Amino acid sequence: MLRDTRLIFVRDMKLALRSPTWLLIGIMQPLLYLFLFGPLMVSVVDHTPGFPPGGAWEVLTPALIVQTALFSGSFAGVALLTEYRVGVVDRFRGTPASRAALLFGKVLAQAVQATAQSVLIVLVTLLVFDLDASLTGLLLSLAIAAVLAIALSSASYALAMVLKSEAAFPALMNAVLLPLLLLSGVLLPVSEQLAPGWLYNLARINPLTHVVDAERAAFRGDMSATGLLTGSLVLLVMAVLALMWGTRTFRKENA
Amino acid sequence: MASPDEPRATAGIPAGRRESAARLPGREKDFMITVRGLARRFTVRGQSVEAVKGIDFDVAPGEVVGFLGPNGAGKTTTLRMLTTLLRPTGGTGTVAGCDLLTDPQGVRRRIGCVHQGGATWPESRVAEEIELQARLYGLSRSEARRRGALLAERLDLAGLDQRPVKTLSGGQRRRLDIALGLVHEPTLVFLDEPTTGLDPQSRANLWDHVRRLRSEQATTVFLTTHYLDEADALCDRILVTDHGTIVAEGTPDALKARVAGDAITIEVTDQVAEAADVAGRLTGATEVSVDGDTVRFRVPRGDAALPELLRTLDGRGITMASVKVNRPTLDDVFLSLTGRSLRDGDPAPRTTEAAHAA
Ligand SMILES: Nc1ncnc2c1ncn2[C@@H]1O[C@H](COP(=O)(O)OP(=O)(O)O)[C@@H](O)[C@H]1O
Ligand SMILES: [Mg+2]
């Protein structure tokens, strides 16, 4: 199974490297946020109580990394549906290769791509803006982005195989992602001081909120923050559940 | 596979072992495929569709068997069940010696499949696709490359190694699909509508490859098609299917022999009714029908009936514009079995047959 996973991983990575548009499209949005929205954040963060510790870039950049991993992971299923339509998925499923390996190979390739996007975002922020970050913190935040991509792409692949509709899938994704993002405090933190009680409570139920909290803590190198531990645990549970769902869907005889 | 070597090969084995070795494979192992009561029902929005309604058949090793039927007959559904991509809702089967339901992994290891409409990724390169496919079947990288090069050579894909799949012609792409189905040298290959959408030359070329599979490697081939000429030209045996059932089975010649005689079509300038009367009086004439200026009927032997027909028409002063004699085709077989032509909505089936063959 490890061997099959590697074969599929290498195939997906080769194809991704051959047409690196995904990389550009993937970081286009976060870069726009950095350049066109970031400067506003600087003065907002300085004058508003209730923001997490750190300056504007330490608040915004980790959130953009989470958002990027979230988007690229969630839309992984779109490509899978195209592969399904042209018959590639059935071709692989007809071989003796482990069906779980088909999933794992693709998920790992997604994780690597999300990490690459995150690295680019960090590099731009470091070079252009006034980012103050530790190396361990950065590495940890990249790891969080990678695991998030694993969780979301796995769930995305599973959902795509359940829906089997190239039209319905992206529509559903958009409908789910926007509230999830707003409720996770990606742009403005949904903190106790800033949000009304009901909104705050709603955000706390959203697992993604905890992941964003953890990513911010890791990013500013605050390894003792409780948010880091909680968020990491939430993320691990998400990843395990998503991988289980994905494996079950891929193994299904009739999928 | 009864080769002259056989007695020599078994001579050294003690009689007892030889016997048990001969007996060990169960009855179903004498066949490449055995299928009993295989069925598949789909439920679409609460509506139940019986795509395959409990079919039975066997395929012997080395046979090329065609599954012939119109669109929607259930060919692809059957093939997907036989290749473990779809779980049957009824029945049992053994494919390449492995039980379809309890050992799908064993089936997958032993068969090759080429799906309808292909299965290649447009952005991948030809050599890449072949190598990956071989490695998913467990071959080493070097072995995968060796076989890939060999197959590319044999299937006229040599020199296309580094070409992205999307730049291939339809025929090349189909041959690549076939290479992907053969790269692990399976003893049994499934081909779903292998030549649909190909130009006549690519079709003829592909037929040659399928024939060579059988003659050079003794590969068993199970193919589906809705082309009569394809089934006729390629298959040792044909299973004629319609609405999820098998309506007839046999060699192309045996199937055609079921149809009573040759079809004669004459066109007259006037006196159609009288011409039909003349036709009906010929020895053994049946199925006389009139359509405008055209009279159609069947006689046991068209070539023998023609002289008398011409003489009599001439004697009665009936002027004939044209005459055509057709040997029975598989379409006639299908027509006589189901009351429909296999070529949906085709007004002049026999002339297109000629065009197809050209
Ligand atoms: N996944 C599916 N869901 C619902 N109906 C299906 C599905 N696949 C095939 N069918 C139906 O089963 C019948 C047989 O289809 P198919 O096996 O593709 O026929 P063929 O390959 O002979 O053209 C058709 O009526 C088709 O609509
Ligand atoms: Mg079909």
Q: What is the mean pLDDT of residues B281-299?
A: 86
Average pLDDT in chain A: 90
The label of the residue with tokens 């039980």 reads B99
Q: What is the pLDDT of residues A197-209, one digit of tens each?
A: 999 999 999 999 9
Q: Residue A4 has what DSSP assignment?
A: H
The label of the residue with tokens 């020895």 reads B283
Identity of the residue in A14, A18, A96 whose CB atom sits nearest the CB atom of B108 = A96
Comparing A230-244, B39-53, B300-314, the range with the smallest average pLDDT is B300-314
Q: What is the pLDDT of residue B2?
A: 39
Say how many CB pairs under 8 Å bridge A and B. 62
Q: What is the pLDDT of residues B195-230, one digit of tens each?
A: 988 888 888 888 998 999 888 888 999 999 988 888
Burial of A162 (0-12, 13-18, 19+ CB in 10 A): middle
Question: Does residue B166 contact residue B158 with C-beta atoms inside 8 Å?
Answer: no
Q: Report the residue of B95, B109, B125, B136 to disrupt the A interface, i.e. the one with the largest count of A CBs within 10 Å.
A: B136
Question: Is B86 at the interface with chain A, CB within 8 A?
Answer: yes
Q: What is the pLDDT of residues A142-199, one digit of tens each?
A: 999 999 999 999 999 999 999 999 999 999 999 999 999 989 988 888 888 888 899 9
User: CA–CA distance from A203 to each of A207, A233, B120 (Å)?
Assistant: 8, 17, 44
Provide residues with CB under 6 Å of ligand 1.
B 42, 44, 49, 51, 69, 71-77
CA distance B349 to chain A (A): 32
Q: How many helices (H) and strands (E) does chain B have?
A: 14, 14
User: Which atom of ligand 1 is least distant from the CA of B75?
Assistant: 22
Q: What is the pLDDT of residue B353?
A: 34
CA distance B118 to chain A (A): 6
Q: What is the pLDDT of residue B27?
A: 53
Question: Is B136 at the interface with chain A, CB within 8 A?
Answer: yes
DSSP B17-66: HHHHHHHSS-GGGGSSEEEEEEEEEEEETTEEEEEEEEEEEEE-TT-EEE
The label of the residue with tokens 């009824």 reads B90
Question: Which domain covers residue A247, as residue numbers?
Answer: 2-251
Task: Name all domains of chain B by residue range, CATH numbers in brackets.
Answer: 8-256 (3.40.50.300), 261-327 (3.30.70.100)
Task: Check the CA dihedral B154-B157-B161-B165 and report its sign.
Answer: negative
For A106, left (φ over 0), alpha (ψ -120 to 50), or beta?
Answer: alpha
Q: What is the pLDDT of residues B89-116, one digit of tens each?
A: 999 999 999 999 999 999 999 999 999 9
Give the span between the Cα atoms of B224 and B245, in whole angstroms. 14
* Ligand 1 centroid to residue B241 C-alpha, Å: 13
B80: nearest Cα among B59, B109, B60, B51: B51
Q: What is the pLDDT of residue B358?
A: 30
Residue A28: CB atoms within 10 A of its CB come to 11
Give the span between the Cα atoms of B147 and B179, in whole angstroms. 10
Residue A166 or B3, more confident: A166
User: What total number of domains does chain A contain?
Assistant: 1
Question: Does residue B33 contact residue B95 with C-beta atoms inside 8 Å?
Answer: yes
Question: Is B138 at the interface with chain A, CB within 8 A?
Answer: yes
Q: Is the model's pLDDT at A89 over the cut of 80?
A: yes
Q: Is the model's pLDDT at B352 over the cut of 60?
A: no
The label of the residue with tokens 């003794």 reads B218
The label of the residue with tokens 């993937």 reads A26
Q: What is the pLDDT of residue B292?
A: 87
Give the span between the Cα atoms of A116 and A13, in whole angstroms. 12
Question: Is B197 at the interface with chain A, CB within 8 A?
Answer: no
Average pLDDT in chain B: 84
Q: What is the mean pLDDT of residues B251-261?
A: 78
Question: Does residue A4 contact residue A101 with C-beta atoms inside 8 Å?
Answer: yes
With beta carbons under 8 A apart, name residues in chain B contacting A86: 117-122
Question: Does residue A177 contact residue A74 with C-beta atoms inside 8 Å?
Answer: yes
Band (pLDDT 50/70/90 cuts) for residue B343 is low
Q: What is the pLDDT of residue B340?
A: 75
Residue B1 or A205, more confident: A205
Dihedral of CA atoms A57, A60, A63, A69 in degrees, nearest 10, equals -70
Question: Is B113 at the interface with chain A, CB within 8 A?
Answer: yes
Q: What is the pLDDT of residues B150-172, one digit of tens each?
A: 999 888 898 999 999 999 998 89
Comparing A2-16, A108-122, A212-226, B26-40, the range with the smallest average pLDDT is B26-40
Residue A102 or B343, more confident: A102
Q: Which two tokens stand for residue A131?
A: 């980012």
Q: Are strands B47-59 and B188-192 parallel, antiparallel or unpaired?
A: unpaired
Band (pLDDT 50/70/90 cuts) for residue A255 is very low
Q: What is the pLDDT of residues B178-200, one digit of tens each?
A: 999 999 999 999 999 999 888 88
CB contact under 8 Å between A19 and B123, yes or no, is: yes
Q: What residues contact residue A129 under an 8 Å CB cut-off, 6+ apart?
A: A34, A38, A57
